[in-house]
Chain A
C-alpha cells in the first residue's frame, strides 16, 4: 500500500517534470536552442493563471481563463523568439544557454514584482482534496495531474502526426535547410514551436500549482526537468516524459528508504550515472557525423 502511495505521488510529480522537460526538448529539437528558462516559463504560466482565476485578482472562471492563459503564454513564447532569440540564431550554444538563463532571472524578478514573493495557491478545479481507500490516501490532484498529462501527450502526439503545422515542425527540426527548400517558413515555424513550448509550460505550471502552492522560486524545478530530459535522451519527446517519470518516482522512494540527506542527491546521481554509461540518454538519437 505504501509503495502504491509513493508511486502515485511520484508519478504526479514526475508528470510535471516530464511536461517541463517536454517543452524543453520540443524547443531543442526544433530550434537547437536550449531553453534554460523553461522552469521559469512554467512558473510564469502558473502565475498568469493565478492572476486570471484567483478572486483577489481578476476572478474569472477557470475554464474561461484557460484559453486566455494559453493565448498569453503562446504569445509570450512567440514574441520572445521573435525579439530575443532570433538575433542569436545560428550562434554558439553557449550564447543561447547564457541568454536563456538571463531571461529566467528576468522572468523570476518580474513575477516577484507583480505577484509578490509569498507562496500563493491557485483556485484550480484540480485541487480536489484527498480520498481514502482503506489505508491508501490518494490526493485527487495527483490523479488528475496524471490523467491531464496523459491526455496532453496524446494531443501533442496527434498534433505532430496529423496537422500541417505539426508536420512542418517535425521537418524543420530534422533538417532546417531541406525544410526551407520545401517551402516551410522555418523561422515562423520556430516561433510557433516557442509558442507551443510556452503553452506546454503553462499546462505544467497549472498542474504544479494545483498540487500545492506556488512562488517565484518554483522555476528551479526546471533543473530537475533538465535532468529528466537528459536521462531520457535529449532529442526524444517520449524520452523526456519517461525521464520525468523516472526522476519523479525516484524522489519519494529515495526520501523514504535512503538515510536523510541522500534523497536530494538521488536524481542528480542518476543523471550523472546515465551520462557516464549512456552519454546521450536512455533513448538516444545521436549518430556519428559522416563527412
Chain B
C-alpha cells in the first residue's frame, strides 16, 4: 500500500498520482508503440478496432459515466461525424483538418440538439435519443445526393502530408494514426475531469438538486457535456467509417448505440479504463465465439448468438458487478494492497430505496 501525503492543492488534481503511475502508463504507451512489431497485421487490425471503439466509448462515457445522462442515440452522432468527415475529404479538404472539423461539427449539432433534450432526463432522454438514432437512418437515405443513401460511400484514401494511409496497404500507419487520436482524446478527457467543468459534470450526475444548490448551472453543464460527448463520438465514428472502407445507412444502425452503451457498462461506468476494457470485450467477443463454436464442432453460425451472449454478460455484470470490469480490478487491487486485511463488505452497495422521478 502506498500512501500519498498531499502537501499542495495540486496533489489532488495531478495527472499522475505518483511516479509509479507515470511509469506504468509510460510502459503501456511504449507497449502500444511497439505493438506493430509484436503481432501480425490481422491482430493489428483488431487492435485498431479496439482503439476506435474505445474512442467512441469515451465519448459516451463522458455523457453517461460522468454526467449521468443515458443516451441511446450516439450512433446518429457517429454517423454525423463519419459523413461530415468523408464529405469534406471528397471536397478536397485534407484529412488532418477534416477529422477535427468533423468532430467540431458533430459537437455543435449535438449541443444544439441537447438544448431541447435538456428538459428531459432519465427515460425521456433515452427514448428521445433512441428516436434520433432511428431517424438518422431514414435521414441518411433521404439525403441521398450527399450520403449515397442505401448504396453508401466508399471513402477516398486518407492522405496525411502527402503520405497515403490505406487500411490494407499500410496497416501500421493506420494503427499509429488511431493511436494518436486515442491518445489526444484520452488526455483531453483526463484533463477535463481535473477542470472545474469535469467537477460540475460529476455534481450533476450525483444530484441535480444539490449541484444547483452549489451554483452549478445544470442546463449549461448538460449542454456542454452532450456537445463534447458528441464531438468525441463523432471522431470515433469517422475513424470507424474510414476503417470499414465503405459505409451506408445500415452501418450506423441504432443497435450500434445500444452496443456502445452496453460496452461502457461492461467496462465500468465512469472510468476511462472502463471504455478501453469494454472495447476489448466488444472487439474480441465475436472472435472468441467463433473459436468456441469451432471447438464445439458445429460449423453453422447461430444467428443472434453474439448479441445474446453479450446480453447475458451484461445482465451478470449489472447484477453482480455494477462497476464493471474496472471495478472488479479495483476490488482485486485493494485486496492485494490490504492483504490480509481486506474485508468482504468494503465495497458493499449502499442500501437505497426508490426516489420517484415523477416528482421533480
A234 interface contact, C-beta 8 A: yes
Binds B, one of A60-68, A153-161, A197-205, A283-291: A283-291
Residues from chain B with Cβ under 8 Å of A99 in the complex = 314-315, 318
Beta-carbon contact of B123 and A272 below 8 Å = no
Q: Is the interface of B mostly helix, strand, loop or mixed?
A: helix
A83-120 with Cβ < 8 A to chain B? 84, 87-95, 97-99, 101-106, 108-110, 112-113, 117
A262 interface contact, C-beta 8 A: yes
Query: How many residue pairs between the two chains, A and B, have CB atoms under 8 Å in the bound complex?
Result: 140
Beta-carbon contact of A97 and B123 below 8 Å = yes
Closest to B139 in A: A265
Q: With contacts A90-B354, A261-B142 known, is A226 near B127, CB below 8 A?
A: yes
Find B322's partner among A91, A106, A113, A288 (CB 8 Å cutoff): A91
Nearest CB of chain A from residue B258's CB, rounded to whole Å: 6
- Which of B122, B141, B358: most chain A Cβ within 10 A? B358
Provide the A42-71 mask, 1 if CB < 8 A to any CB of B, else 0.
Answer: 000000000000000000000000000000
Q: With contacts A34-B123, A87-B319, A101-B258 known, is A268 near B131, CB below 8 A?
A: yes
In the complex the two chains form, what is the Cα distance from A108 to B255 in whole Å?
14
Beta-carbon contact of B127 and A227 below 8 Å = yes
Beta-carbon contact of B312 and A32 below 8 Å = no
B69-109 with Cβ < 8 A to chain A? 70, 72
A5 interface contact, C-beta 8 A: no
Beta-carbon contact of B357 and A226 below 8 Å = no
Beta-carbon contact of A261 and B311 below 8 Å = no
A176 interface contact, C-beta 8 A: yes
Closest to B319 in A: A87
Beta-carbon contact of B357 and A230 below 8 Å = no
Q: Can you identify 25 A-B contacts, CB atoms within 8 angstroms?
A: A32-B357, A84-B315, A84-B319, A91-B352, A92-B68, A93-B70, A94-B64, A94-B269, A95-B318, A99-B314, A99-B315, A102-B312, A102-B314, A106-B308, A106-B315, A109-B307, A216-B304, A230-B124, A268-B131, A271-B127, A271-B128, A275-B120, A276-B116, A288-B359, A289-B360
Residues from chain A with Cβ under 8 Å of B38 in the complex = none
B313-331 with Cβ < 8 A to chain A? 314-315, 318-319, 322
